[in-house]
């Protein structure tokens, strides 16, 4: 049983790099703290292979990447692709991430769908098409519309994910209406992905605010809240061979501290990480 704890992205966590001489890049330094990271930039643009090769080389052998699916693949642009366009886009995407696959460092591809991707036959068909064309890849599924877990359909949704071989992305997030999902502690695959988005209820929905993205994940988990998840992890371990936990509560820079705190509460100490870069004031004359 393996538990991998990390963060969403490696560039925006100043607490990890304080007083360190960052001579090999932030990802190298990040990988001296955590064994997994989420590649958020892949959501905004299909990255060139050279980026992935660089990231593979900067990380230790047993490091892994959760790579977000390109936003057009998750219908964030609200456009309908033809089957030909979809196949071409999937081919371009999988070609781009091939260095990570070849290095055996792919944890999962994360398909995080938008709030308007609700439970309907058309969207179920789309998920089946994606799963069919990416059958050889580990795919994680995250919803942002609670219709999928409506009490009338929750069991069917989980059964569908299990049958279609989707990794269930379990979320800890504010319960702020239709655009949030409850924490459903049921794995659907040998792997389980958990994402901590914080519990900032007032900041979760846009509600016309210009600074919405800056405050949405503004939240610091308390020890008591993380202790709830220690119990959850113990239960999830009975049904999952591998659990990956990603902290996304970083509007105020809290993700790294909470992830370290959670590692301590679970008594996890990773080996095989990158060597820690020297503090500028370490050493002698």
Mean pLDDT by 10 residues, the chain (285 residues): 94 79 78 97 97 97 98 90 94 98 98 96 97 97 97 97 98 90 96 95 70 76 97 94 96 92 97 77 45
pLDDT reported for residue 20: 63
pLDDT reported for residue 253: 86
pLDDT reported for residue 281: 46
* CATH number of 196's domain: 3.20.20.410
* Tens of pLDDT, residues 14-38: 888 876 655 568 999 999 999 999 9
Asked if residues 79 and 72 have their Cβ atoms less than 8 Å apart, the reply is yes
For the chain, give the secondary structure using H, E and C.
CEEEEEEECCCCCHHHCCCECCCCCHHHHHCCCCCEEEECHHHHCCCCHHHHHHHHHCCCCCCEEEEECCCCCCCCCCCCCCHHHHHHHHHHHHHHCHHHHHCCCEEEEEEECCCCCCCCHHHHHHHHHHHHHCCCCCEEEECCCHHHHCCCCHHHHHHHHHHCCEEEEEEECCCCCCCCCCCCCCCCCCEEEEEECCCCHHHHCCCCCCCHHHHCCCCCCCHHHHHHHHHHHHHHCCCCCEEEEEECCCCCCCHHHHHHHHHHHCCCCCCCCCCCCCECCCCCC
16 located within any domain: yes
> In whole angstroms, what is the distance from residue 45 CA to residue 29 CA?
24
* Tens of pLDDT, residues 194-205: 999 999 887 777
Domain ranges, residue 109: 2-265
274 located within any domain: no
67 located within any domain: yes
Asked if residues 191 and 241 have their Cβ atoms less than 8 Å apart, the reply is yes
pLDDT reported for residue 209: 61
pLDDT reported for residue 251: 84
Rounded to a whole number of angstroms, the CA Rg of the chain reads 19
Q: How many domains does the chain have?
A: 1
Give the angle subtended at the CA of 190 by the CAs of 225 and 197, to the nearest 5°.
Answer: 30
pLDDT reported for residue 52: 98
282 located within any domain: no
Asked if residues 146 and 175 have their Cβ atoms less than 8 Å apart, the reply is no
273 located within any domain: no
Residues 6+ apart with CB under 8 A from 276: 20, 32
225 located within any domain: yes
191-196 and 36-39 beta bridge pairing = unpaired
- Bridge partners for 167 per DSSP: 140
pLDDT reported for residue 218: 81
280 located within any domain: no
* Tens of pLDDT, residues 145-183: 999 999 999 999 999 999 999 999 999 999 888 888 999
Q: Which of 150, 109, 149 is nearest to 131 (CA)?
A: 109
pLDDT reported for residue 278: 60
């Amino acid at each position: 049983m393996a538990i991998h704890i990390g963060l969403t992205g490696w560039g925006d966590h100043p607490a990890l790099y304080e007083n360190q001489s960052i001579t090999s890049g932030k990802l190298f330094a990040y990988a001296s703290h955590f064994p997994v990271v989420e590649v958020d930039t892949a959501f905004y643009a299909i990255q060139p292979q050279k980026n992935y090769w660089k990231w593979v080389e900067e990380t230790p052998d047993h490091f892994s990447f959760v790579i977000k699916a390109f936003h057009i693949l998750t219908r964030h642009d609200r456009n309908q692709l033809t089957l030909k366009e979809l196949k071409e886009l999937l081919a371009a995407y999988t070609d781009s991430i091939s260095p990570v696959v070849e290095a055996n460092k792919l944890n999962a591809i994360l398909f995080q769908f938008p709030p308007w991707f609700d439970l309907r036959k058309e969207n179920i068909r789309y998920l089946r098409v994606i799963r069919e064309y990416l059958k050889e890849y580990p795919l994680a599924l995250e919803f942002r519309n609670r219709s999928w877990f409506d009490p009338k359909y929750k069991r069917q949704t989980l059964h569908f994910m299990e049958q279609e071989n989707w990794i269930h992305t379990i979320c800890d997030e504010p319960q702020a209406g239709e655009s949030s999902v409850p924490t459903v502690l049921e794995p659907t695959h040998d792997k389980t992905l958990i994402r901590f988005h914080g519990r900032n209820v007032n900041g979760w929905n846009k509600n016309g605010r210009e600074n919405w993205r800056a405050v949405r994940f503004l939240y610091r988990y308390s020890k008591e809240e993380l202790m709830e998840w220690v119990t959850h992890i113990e239960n999830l371990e009975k049904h999952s061979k591998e659990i990956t936990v990603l902290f996304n509560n970083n509007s105020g820079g809290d993700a790294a501290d909470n992830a370290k705190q959670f590692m301590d509460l679970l008594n996890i100490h990773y080996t095989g990480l990158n060597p820690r870069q020297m503090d500028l004031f370490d050493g002698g004359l």
